[in-house]
């Protein structure tokens, strides 16, 4: 492992300068630039017409970032004196005497003049060297408590990539006045307003500027829609979602050498090595703003792949297109007649795919507006991997449960996240198919009381339990659940839990936590397929701790002599484990709550 990283570092040190050296006649070196130099820049403010503006170098800031200088320039022309530096100009090339100085990339918020920070071109050419290196195939270390973390996430929000305090400062503008990179406008079309408002905060934390705009489309008169249109100064798009909804980040091409493109002059999301769709784009308008003006643009045709996203900018190559994950969603709503079908293609990257799947599911759900005040949601989802592994999930939730609507698909997105980021084997998602239904009325039921119908139960027989359910705004009802007793269960008194999905899942994890921490890919798949839908009543017999987890290997039902000999003492890594005998009864309600009983197991006379 050490040898691999040493080799990678050596390749970067040797190849980086050599690649930049190949094109040294194309750009200015930082040491040759001084205050007072003048030049012209290129950008697009409307359509695809590249226009020129002027600039003057007013400063050379040394070591602003680790071993990276920044040029300070004052822009003029094209109305920049009124609009200021425009978000979407990221990557706009600046030239002095025909040689590339660098890319417009930074600015100060609320600045009274169009003063910009420029990333020197020589740093951006290092991106080409990085793209030429092989990807790091080193195995990722196994996170502790992988499954427990995943299950915890299943009832919350999908995690975000690249969200940190620095990006939060970029978004809010709080903190000391500092040089901030221009946020790339993230144009989102076909998205319901409610969904846009919710997820905008997430993209802002990633350093983007979410704006609602028009969808991707080609005008027959657009001759620049092909890859040849990606020339210095032209708009370039990075697509995250295509289809019935589009999401694309917009910047400007800084330079092009053959089929190689460098752009932005700053990180998009600082994702490192990626494979994202790279597309041509069109600028529809410039929206002036006291906070920060921005370009409203539209992504057009995917013509290549973005391969590197680093602090110096982004690098892509035209030609080969990256893979995307198809997501299909069928929606039936009780408040609207008929079935609606929505189809998306989302970026295939472990950093963003879980979040994009979540957005696609919720956008489909909200396309016809918010759900009614009292509702019950149902979903069935099939996730397929490139290994032909299939994971099918189903669940439901009601409005009376007070469960956050935005956590409804949490189990789906966290399953995608776990598959794509698992520490065992590389895995890709090849498709996601979902069926979502909204029924009118609230189908929630609270476990009001439980009662054993037989005082004792014999091994190999069943205990019968009456469960009284208090339904939402309806009369209470009683159901009976049969609880099988294992034939080899010793006589005695056992705790019996009658409860909802949350209580049952927690009890199972508490009894044998090691069984929820997979040691290989197949064990992980088994756990991902383990479900606790909300519409079932669960009965769990809590069995005594008669097993031991010895250095990751569970040994169950040990004789008492072995158990006493191996029982952990002091700081031993051995762990006592119990077990549960689980059964469930499917209902038409979302079950809420839990209660405990004492179950007497005794052989028949």
Percent of the chain topping pLDDT 70: 80
Q: What is the pLDDT of residue 162?
A: 36
Q: What is the mean pLDDT of residues 188-208?
A: 92
CA–chain centroid gap for 21, Å, is 38
Query: Which residues, including other chains, have CB under 8 Å from residue 97's CB and lie 6 or more apart?
Result: 39
Distance between CA atoms of residues 499 and 596, nearest Å:
8
Other residues' Cβ atoms within 10 Å of the Cβ of residue 446: 18
Judged against a pLDDT cut of 60, whether residue 110 lies above it is answered with: yes
Strand-pair partners of 189: 246
Q: 414-431: per-residue pLDDT in tens? A: 999 999 999 999 999 999
Answer whether residue 75 shows pLDDT above 50: yes
Banded pLDDT at 8 (limits 50, 70, 90): very low
Report pLDDT digits (tens) over 499-519.
Answer: 999 999 999 888 877 778 888
Q: What is the pLDDT of residue 361?
A: 96
Q: How far is the C-alpha of 527 from the C-alpha of 505, rounded, in Å?
A: 12
pLDDT tens, residue by residue, 364-381? 999 998 888 889 999 999
- Is the distance from CB of 497 to CB of 542 less than 8 angstroms? yes
**Distance separating alpha carbons of residues 53 and 39, to the nearest angstrom:** 9
Report whether pLDDT(19) > 80. no
C-beta neighbour count of 221 within 10 angstroms: 6
For residue 157, pLDDT over 60 is answered with: no
pLDDT in tens, 118-144: 999 999 999 988 777 666 544 444 443
pLDDT at 448: 95
Given a cut of 50, whether residue 6 has pLDDT beyond it is: no
Contact 516, 493 (CB under 8 A): no
CA 203 to chain centre: 10
Give 553's pLDDT tier (boundaries 50, 70, 90).
low
pLDDT digits (tens, 9 = 90+) for 335-365: 888 899 999 999 999 989 999 999 999 999 9
pLDDT in tens, 265-317: 999 998 999 999 999 999 999 988 877 789 999 999 999 999 999 999 999 99
Q: Cβ of 179: how many Cβ atoms within 10 Å? A: 16
In angstroms, the CA 140 to CA 270 distance is 19
Kindly state the percentage of the chain with pLDDT values over 90: 62
pTM over 0.95: no
Tens-place pLDDT, residues 560-604: 555 555 555 554 555 655 677 899 999 999 999 999 999 999 988
Mean pLDDT to the nearest integer, 453-460: 90
Q: How confident is the model at residue 70 (pLDDT cuts 50, 70, 90)?
A: very high
Residue with tokens 């190689």: 260
Q: What is the pLDDT of residue 11?
A: 42
What's the burial of 188, exposed, middle or buried (CB within 10 Å: 0-12/13-18/19+)?
Answer: buried
| pLDDT score, position 25 | 78
Backbone phi and psi for residue 430, each to the nearest 5 degrees, phi listed first: -95, -25
Residue 232 has pLDDT above 60, yes or no: yes
State how far the Cα of 594 lies from the Cα of 602, in Å rounded to an integer: 25
Place of tokens 């290092």: 126
Q: Which CATH architecture has domain 2-132?
A: Beta Barrel (2.40)
- Under a CB-based contact definition with an 8 Å cutoff, are residues 452 and 446 in contact? no
pLDDT band at residue 538, thresholds of 50, 70 and 90? very high
The residues of the chain that CATH labels 2.40.10.10 are: 2-132
Give the tens place of pLDDT for each residue, 159-179: 443 333 334 444 444 444 567
**Residue 127, H or E segment:** helix 126-132
Of 500, 159, 124, 151, which is closest to residue 313 (Cα–Cα)?
124
Average pLDDT, the chain: 84
* Confidence at residue 158, expressed as pLDDT on a 0 to 100 scale: 42
Please check whether residue 236 is in contact with residue 44, taking contact to mean a CB–CB distance below 8 angstroms. Answer: no
Give the bridge partners for 575, in sequence order. Answer: 549
Determine the pLDDT at residue 114.
Answer: 93
Strand partners, 262: 255, 315
What is the DSSP track for 35-47?
TT-EEEEEEESSB
Cβ pair 112, 125 in contact under 8 A: no
State both tokens at 404: 């956050």
């Amino acid at each position: 492992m050490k040898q691999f990283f040493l080799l990678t570092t050596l390749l970067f040190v040797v190849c980086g300068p050599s690649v930049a050296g190949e094109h040294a006649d194309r750009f200015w070196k930082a040491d040759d630039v001084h205050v007072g130099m003048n030049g012209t820049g290129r950008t697009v403010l409307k359509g695809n017409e590249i226009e020129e503006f002027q600039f003057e170098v007013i400063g050379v800031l040394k070591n602003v970032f680790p071993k990276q200088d920044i040029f300070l320039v004052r822009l003029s022309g094209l109305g920049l004196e009124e609009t200021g530096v425009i978000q979407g100009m990221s990557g706009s090339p600046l030239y002095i005497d025909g040689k590339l100085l660098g890319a417009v990339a930074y600015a100060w918020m609320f600045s009274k003049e169009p003063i910009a920070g420029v990333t020197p071109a020589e740093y951006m050419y290092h991106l080409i060297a990085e793209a030429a290196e092989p990807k790091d195939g080193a195995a990722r270390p196994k996170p502790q408590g992988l499954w427990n973390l995943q299950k915890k996430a299943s009832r919350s929000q999908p995690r975000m990539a690249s969200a940190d305090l620095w990006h939060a400062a970029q978004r809010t503008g709080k903190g000391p006045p500092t040089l901030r990179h221009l946020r790339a406008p993230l144009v989102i079309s076909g998205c319901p307003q409610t969904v846009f408002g919710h997820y905008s905060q997430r993209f802002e934390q990633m350093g983007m500027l979410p704006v609602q705009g028009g969808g991707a489309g080609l005008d027959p008169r657009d001759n620049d829609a092909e890859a040849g249109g990606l020339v210095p100064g032209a708009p370039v798009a990075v697509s995250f979602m295509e289809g019935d909804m589009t999401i694309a980040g917009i910047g400007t091409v800084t330079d092009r050498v053959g089929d190689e493109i460098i752009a932005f002059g700053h990180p998009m999301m600082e994702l490192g090595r990626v494979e994202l769709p790279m597309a041509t784009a069109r600028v529809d308008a410039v929206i002036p703003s006291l906070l920060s003006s921005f370009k409203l643009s539209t992504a057009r045709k995917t013509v290549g792949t973005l391969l590197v996203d680093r602090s110096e900018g982004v690098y892509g190559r035209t030609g080969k297109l990256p893979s995307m994950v198809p997501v299909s969603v069928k929606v039936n709503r009780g408040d609207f007649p008929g079935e609606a079908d929505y189809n998306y293609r989302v970026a295939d990257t472990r950093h963003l795919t879980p979040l994009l799947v979540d957005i696609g599911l919720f956008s489909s759900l909200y396309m016809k507006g918010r759900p009614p005040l009292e509702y019950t949601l149902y979903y069935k989802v099939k996730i397929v991997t490139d290994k032909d592994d299939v994971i099918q999930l189903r669940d439901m939730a009601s409005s009376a449960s007070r469960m956050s609507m935005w956590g409804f698909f949490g189990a789906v997105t966290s399953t995608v996240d776990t598959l794509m980021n698992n520490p065992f084997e590389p895995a890709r998602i090849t498709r996601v198919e979902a069926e979502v239904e909204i029924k009118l009325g609230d189908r929630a039921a609270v476990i009001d009381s439980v009662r054993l119908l037989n005082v004792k139960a014999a091994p190999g027989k069943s205990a019968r339990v009456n469960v009284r359910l208090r339904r939402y705004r309806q009369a209470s009802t009683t159901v009976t659940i049969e609880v099988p007793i294992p034939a080899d269960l010793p006589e005695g008194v056992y705790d019996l839990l009658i409860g909802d999905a949350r209580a049952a899942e927690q009890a199972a994890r508490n009894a044998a936590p090691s069984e929820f921490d997979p040691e290989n890919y197949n064990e992980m798949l088994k756990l991902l397929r383990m479900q606790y839908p909300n519409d079932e009543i669960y009965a769990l017999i809590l069995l005594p701790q008669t097993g031991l987890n010895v250095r990751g290997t569970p040994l169950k039902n040990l004789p008492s002599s072995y158990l006493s000999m191996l029982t952990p003492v002091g700081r031993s890594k051995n762990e006592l484990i119990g077990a549960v005998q689980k059964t469930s009864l499917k209902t038409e309600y979302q079950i809420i709550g839990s209660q405990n009983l004492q179950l007497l197991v005794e052989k028949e006379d």
